[in-house]
Amino acid sequence: MAVDFLILGSTGMLGQALMNTLKAENHSVIGLARKNADICIDITDDALLLQTLKAIAPQVIINTVAIVNLSFCEQNPDQSYVYNARVSSVLANYCASESIKYVYISTDHYFSKNKNFKHSENAQVNLCNEYARTKYIGEQLSLTNPNALVIRTNIVGFRYNPDTPTFVEWVINALEKQEKMILFDDFYTSSLDVYSFSKALCILIKKDASGLYNLASSEVSNKNQFISKLAQKLGFSLNNTSIGSMEQSLSEVQRNNSLGLDVSKAEKLLNFNLPKLSDVINNLATEYLNRKKIS
């Protein structure tokens, strides 16, 4: 078997969007996760992973597998290291030896106290928790392969798994049920919907981009702005919401709060502007309403 793309973590929020996007572009693609995927294995088993990669012989491997739960990472640093970092050294080495493309999806969880500043790929990072630490090590291990592509991002979308709702699914559910919600006005991100992200990533791969790239919305917004625009677009009331500060929230994990990314390096190579907040909200609303029509 020889395929164009192998998606590690194909059943996750981003993995599902990548699978759909690549299939729509007529690529041969195989998805991998521990369950409900084309191939079901645990990628932390090195021997099984390498045996599987040799059998599939992909041209491009996109690694979306991660532990994204900040509290879990804090309580389980060893496991976080294995998932978020160590696996990437196995994959980066394999891809270098086979001369194929390796893509590591990283995070934006690296910057603090800069409000809506757009951080470039060279900005100094603040590794304030285990998630940030292990993802950053994952970046460094990936970049030991000079042809690897490492993407920093903030992605939003739907996972369609009621056990682990995404941020957007959690927000829509709370708005639908008119639950009380505090909208942080001091937590900033460049959130990009996973389908816009997937299309742009495919172009970067076709252009054989390598090294570190920010791929996110071209506009930085705070959570109050993001949720208010989403609610307005979907016709939900904001009566039970109030504006507050993330600094005053009771979180057991130290969090960065200025996650804005400067996407000019990616835009230059893509040769188009990445979506603004209003585009991202429109895309999320369209996916939500289309799915609602079907179900």
What crossing angle do the helices spanning 87-98 and 46-56 adopt, rounded to 10°?
30
Q: Is 88 in the site for ligand NAP (CB under 6 A)?
A: no
Q: Is 35 in the site for ligand NAP (CB under 6 A)?
A: yes
Map residue 61 onto helix, strand or coil: strand
Min separation Cβ 203 and ligand NAP, Å: 18
Map residue 267 onto helix, strand or coil: helix
Q: Is 52 in the site for ligand NAP (CB under 6 A)?
A: no
**Cα–Cα–Cα angle for 170, 266, 19, nearest 5°?**
50
Instruction: Pick the binder of ligand NAP from 118, 159, 223, 265 (CB under 6 A).
Output: 159
Q: Is 42 in the site for ligand NAP (CB under 6 A)?
A: yes
Q: Is 170 in the site for ligand NAP (CB under 6 A)?
A: no
Q: Is 217 in the site for ligand NAP (CB under 6 A)?
A: no
Instruction: Pick the binder of ligand NAP from 142, 153, 241, 283 (CB under 6 A).
Output: 153
φ, ψ dihedrals at 168, nearest 5°: -65, -40
**Cβ(285)–Cβ(156) below 8 Å:** no
**Cβ(5)–Cβ(28) below 8 Å:** yes
Q: Is 14 in the site for ligand NAP (CB under 6 A)?
A: yes
Number of residues that bind ligand NAP (CB under 6 A): 25
For residue 38, give Cα distances in angstroms to 9, 19, 63, 90, 249: 11, 11, 15, 21, 41
97-116 positions binding ligand NAP, by CB under 6 A? 105, 107-108
**Please, which residue, 157 or 271, has the CB nearer to ligand NAP?**
157
Residues engaged in binding ligand NAP (CB under 6 A): 9-15, 33-35, 42-44, 64-66, 68, 105, 107-108, 135, 153-155, 159
